[in-house]
Amino acid sequence: MNIFNQQPALKPDDKCVWGGLPSSGRALAVVEAALKYSGLTLIITDTAQQASTQSRALAFFAAQRNLSIFTFPDWETLPYDIFSPHQDIISARLQTLAKLPNADHGVLIVPLTTLMHRIAPIDFVASRTFCYSIGEQLDRVLLQEQLSRAGYKRVDTVYEHGEFAFRGSIIDVFPMGVKTPFRMDLLDDDIESLRLFDPESQRTLENVEQIELLPAREFPMDKESINLFLNNWHERFDHNPAKCPVYRDIKDGIAPQGIEYYLSLFFEQTATLFDYLPTNLQLFTSSGIEQAAEQFWSDINNRYQEYGVDPERPLLKPEEIFLPVDRLFHEIKKRPRTILDRQPIDPAVHRQGSDLASVPDVSVNAKQTSPLQKLHDFLITFEDDKAGSRVLFCAESSGRREVLTDLLKTIQVHPAEVDSWLQFVDSDLRYGIITYPLDQGIVCSNNGLCLITEGELFGQQVMQRRRRSKVSESPDYIFKSLAELKIDAPVVHIEHGVGRYQGLITLDVDKTAQEFLMLYYANDAKLYVPVSSLHLISRFGGGDQVAAPLNHLGSDKWDKAKQKAAKQVRDTAVDLLDIYSRRAARKGFACSANEQDYLKFSGDFAFEETADQQAAIDAVRQDLLSAQPMDRLVCGDVGFGKTEVAMRAAFTAVSSGKQVVILVPTTLLAHQHLQNFRDRFANWPVNVEELSRFRTGKEQTAVIGDTEAGKVDILISTHKLLHAEINFKQLGLMIIDEEHRFGVRQKEKIKSLRSEVDILTMTATPIPRTLNMSMHSIRDLSIIATPPAKRLSVKTFVRKQESRVTREAILREILRGGQVYFLHNDVKSIQRVADELATLVPEARINIAHGQMRERNLEQVMSDFYHQRFNVLVCTTIIETGIDIPSANTILIDRADKFGLAQLHQLRGRVGRSHHQAYAYLMLPQDKKITSDATKRLEAISAADQLGSGFTLATNDLEIRGAGELLGEEQSGHIQAIGFTLYLEMLDRAVAAIRNGSEPDFDAALNQGLEVNMHVPALIPDDYLPDVNMRLTIYKRLADCQSKSDLHELQVEMIDRFGLLPEVSKTLFKLAELRLVGEQLGLKKIEAGLTRGRLQFKSTTIVEPITIIKMVQSKPSTYRLQNNDQLSFTMDMENPEQRFSIVHNILQGLLPPA
């Protein structure tokens, strides 16, 4: 069925206007025209944001219609910027450039600003693209050169586009233009296999026959191109090149940030996107591109004038890197052009009216007795106007689709599910529903078709939430603790105390190569720790790393520090067990499980759960279903999905007839939770209410009354709840968000409530996973450490307060359609700062938010910001907790030196919640000196800019705070003396001993593992795995394997990631197998050489004395018992294989019968 039948412009220099087209109408009209056209269709939009919205709409109408939609995204940088685009953007652009020369049909959508950039010549991508197939011969050295010349960066582990790694016979590459990296396995010089792998888990996904490698940049970096760049530089600029960092970097083969704005120097001649397009092309533009082009050209020239005066960074003239406006429209006029106008049509020549219209107001009003009255009235009118009229509803996720379907049933509308617009149009369905994140609907009156989106029904833009990909669980956080060690970092050896890590070193011992950890102690003493004894080493977590003690080898100072800590640990363990026993003695309420309802509710979640998140959800649910009262802490970095854990818990409690109260520290967070919970519970008979200063006194009284009457199922409240005397009818669960932000009195009140109900506490304060060992059974702990997929880390900069930097940062964000937080934490001067910003950045739309505003005003401002009605929010720390606005991806923090590390981390977590690169600027005063502590804090936060870095911040003062939250603040001194990890291990031992009725024995060495020495080389060679930290991680994981299946899994992973194991590495696994059996038997040491060997038993061994006596009696020349705790044996074991086999058989013989 043809829905839109207007004729586009047909001849070059021909121009016609299609008017009265709403946003989705423009996309539908273009798709209909493109399907009838034999060539390529180009759409030029005014802004990058329009291009993004329109490309989604185009894909919606083109689905299942054999019409490709190409995008060429904007760099998301400012003209002459000092930043380079994110690698993912470059990847998408190169993918399109590679496809365009052969694209003879389809739709290409481009923002005007992107079209005005000059780009690489048309042969650039094709001439630098390589294909590889299984069985093909490969020159490794040549491939490495090709990858480097193509702009790929060599790394130890491949995670992002444009990276590659060489590890023996394994080569990993993440090519541009594809979604997953690939792994090449070589046999001699032949490609034996090609596999796609998951960059998160580094494990294989599937095998492929062939792969294609596009260049990694939009410019070449081979020797000829670098020489051309340098020659062109000399021709253009008369500054001394030795003083220009850009020139020096390129000369050294380094591509500096912002190099894209020198692109024309790499080529004899640049091209424009028009050069890539076929002659058979029809063109669609919006009506405002002339003004947009003039404005952009003006911005380019202004920035050229402003920044072109720096002799260290001279700039190319605008026409060398951009297409001037007259040249742009010269190219446009060569093609037939149709203008898409949203304005209604007047009778002018060459204008064609449209029967496509926007959807009228059909918004749902929850306060009315008939919430869907407007929709109901529209459907009746629409049907009266056109017999056989049909309506398709559009929901943004499958969960939202179920909500909408149930809602529509209340007005007797029963939509059938469809997969595409085409399927619905070709069917005879009266009502349909589809899952797709479309912003606006459309009414096609002539055809009797209507498309209504969820955003139009609920009266506000429903923020698009991108689906997370399922991520395999990454190695446990505890392994990272050693993997991230830097040279000179403090580490703890259980027997010798705190030293400094100096790296891994290979030494020959008894003519056997072994790898050791080298530690440095006071007075230049060195200690070499074999990798098989890694269990004796722990990271010195907690406190000031620089101030960590440096012990003397052989002195008693370390033992005294341990003894002091031991006394404190014992007292703490007694306190913890007292709390535990009181909890265990109480019987709580066991929630009932309606599995079908719970699965339906879980299915409404718009994302895939991360592995950690799912584990937390399952643990909380098990707690609720048991009769023992729950007291669980869920800890996860900012934005890692704690709220969904709370929602599942609330659902389980409410389903069992219990009320839920959610305590939050701020009014804004209460209001956001109210919206999120109401949205999540929209299709369930659950009443969610809020008690905060956003409500009038009368409304609060009504909410309290309804709560006491049992009419409120979930109550979200600030500390008001703690002051109000509320008699809940059936309170079953209390959820506390960020408990540490409540005051002392409020915490006491919470404590008094703890004994009554199930408690779930959520915090973003980082508490390391290691704490889990000590705290299990005392206070249950779940840690969410896996970031959602598609979230990029936040680029963090420390800058002096400067108008130029501020303007750049704000403009960069708002020009890509995003929003900005400007944090100024002083209410008295906040209006002045907002006025100054309005003068500095007149392009911005600015508003203010702070805690002293009237409640209604604050609520309105935050709602307007959420719905993108303005783009810069000048605010105080009121935004610190829980505010989730995905389109806000830049934050500037004024006087960042006045904030603590935890607070800076929280504030930075407000941005970077979408797939766009986020920026955080920590601004310092120009003329004031800041303290050394503040300097350290700022250095730490800017260095730790990876996702989840709340768990690994360099100073670790967050770890201490997290420990204090659970253990009490007085522990901090002892943690500083002996290190965090050892402290927890001692606490673990004390808890276990006291629970068993005995005193903890701290004199025995802690966690002394079994020593296995078979006098054979056993290590991971550096030519097999060059990355020292990765080797350390593998050694640590090997030491922590608890079963043969763990060992097998690790072995398979190593072969997958690094290639076939060398013999010396296979030996490591054999040693680990012996260790597992030895630990099971309760052995202290296993040793075997050419002719002799011995086993040493612990006092707790499970080996029966009679078994040893029988062995000695049966073969007295082979076996001897020594000192009552050692069994020695003599036999020919010159062959290492035979040696392992003999020891293995002896150990098996000592195992008790099954």
Tell me the pLDDT tens digit for each residue of 44-69.
999 888 898 899 999 999 999 999 99
Place of tokens 């038997």: 1081
Amino acid at 786: T
What pLDDT is stored for residue 1025 in this prediction?
Answer: 85
Q: Is the pLDDT confidence value at 224 over 80? A: yes
779-809 residue pLDDT tens: 677 777 665 554 556 888 888 888 988 998 9
Q: Reduced to 3 states, what is the DSSP secondary structure of residue 793?
A: coil
Better pLDDT: 543 or 596: 596
If one counts every other C-beta atom within 10 angstroms of the C-beta of residue 414, the result is 10
If one counts every other C-beta atom within 10 angstroms of the C-beta of residue 606, the result is 17
**Of residues 1089, 1096, 1091, 1088, the one with CA closest to residue 1121:** 1096
1083-1093 residue pLDDT tens: 999 999 999 99
Using DSSP, how many helices (H) and how many strands (E) does the chain show? 38, 44
Among 831-845, 853-867, 967-981, the range of highest mean pLDDT: 831-845
What pLDDT is stored for residue 915 in this prediction?
Answer: 63
Residue 490: exposure state from Cβ atoms within 10 A (0-12, 13-18, ≥19): buried
CA distance 915 to 455: 21
Give me the chain's average pLDDT, please: 83
The continuous run of DSSP H or E covering 858 comes out as helix 855-866
The continuous run of DSSP H or E covering 732 comes out as strand 731-737
CA distance 1030 to 1028: 5
Residue 546: exposure state from Cβ atoms within 10 A (0-12, 13-18, ≥19): exposed
CA distance 485 to 483: 6
Q: Mean pLDDT throughout 282-306?
A: 92
How many angstroms from the chain centroid is the CA of residue 908?
14
Better pLDDT: 1024 or 369: 1024
Q: Is the pLDDT confidence value at 105 over 70? A: yes
**Of residues 484, 481, 490, the one with CA closest to residue 548:** 490
Cβ proximity of 210 and 132 under 8 Å: yes
Q: Mean pLDDT throughout 316-328?
A: 96
List, in order, residues 6 or more apart from 732 with CB less than 8 Å away: 589, 591, 653, 656, 657, 658, 659, 660, 757, 758
What pLDDT is stored for residue 741 in this prediction?
Answer: 66
Cβ proximity of 884 and 913 under 8 Å: yes
Q: Is the pLDDT confidence value at 898 over 70? A: yes
Better pLDDT: 591 or 1044: 1044
What pLDDT is stored for residue 40 in this prediction?
Answer: 95
Cβ proximity of 774 and 987 under 8 Å: yes
First and final C-alpha spacing in the chain: 74
pLDDT class of 1042 with cuts at 50, 70, 90? confident
What pLDDT is stored for residue 351 in this prediction?
Answer: 44
What pLDDT is stored for residue 922 in this prediction?
Answer: 92
Q: Is the pLDDT confidence value at 111 over 90? A: yes
What pLDDT is stored for residue 869 in this prediction?
Answer: 82
Cβ proximity of 282 and 39 under 8 Å: yes
CA distance 707 to 719: 16
CA distance 1101 to 553: 32
What pLDDT is stored for residue 862 in this prediction?
Answer: 83
CA distance 240 to 438: 54
What pLDDT is stored for residue 978 in this prediction?
Answer: 74
If one counts every other C-beta atom within 10 angstroms of the C-beta of residue 810, the result is 25
Cβ proximity of 859 and 865 under 8 Å: no
Q: Is the pLDDT confidence value at 727 over 80? A: yes
**Of residues 804, 876, 867, 775, the one with CA closest to residue 833:** 876
751 φ, ψ (degrees, to nearest 5)? -60, -40
Q: Is the pLDDT confidence value at 218 over 90? A: yes
Give all domains of the chain, ordered by start, each with its CATH number: 15-122+257-352 (3.40.50.11180), 152-213 (3.30.2060.10), 358-457 (3.40.50.11140), 477-580+971-995 (2.40.10.170), 587-782 (3.40.50.300), 794-946 (3.40.50.300), 1011-1150 (3.90.1150.50)
What pLDDT is stored for residue 250 in this prediction?
Answer: 92
Better pLDDT: 136 or 464: 136
Q: Is the pLDDT confidence value at 1024 over 80? A: yes
CA angle 1004, 1008, 1010 (to 5 degrees): 135
Q: Reduced to 3 states, what is the DSSP secondary structure of residue 478?
A: helix
The maximal CA–CA distance of the chain, rounded, in angstroms, is 114
List, in order, residues 6 or more apart from 167 with CB less than 8 Å away: 1024, 1025, 1026, 1057, 1058, 1059
Give strand pairing partners of 519: 501, 527
Place of tokens 């501020």: 806
CA angle 1018, 1022, 1026 (to 5 degrees): 140
pLDDT class of 301 with cuts at 50, 70, 90? very high
What pLDDT is stored for residue 951 in this prediction?
Answer: 37
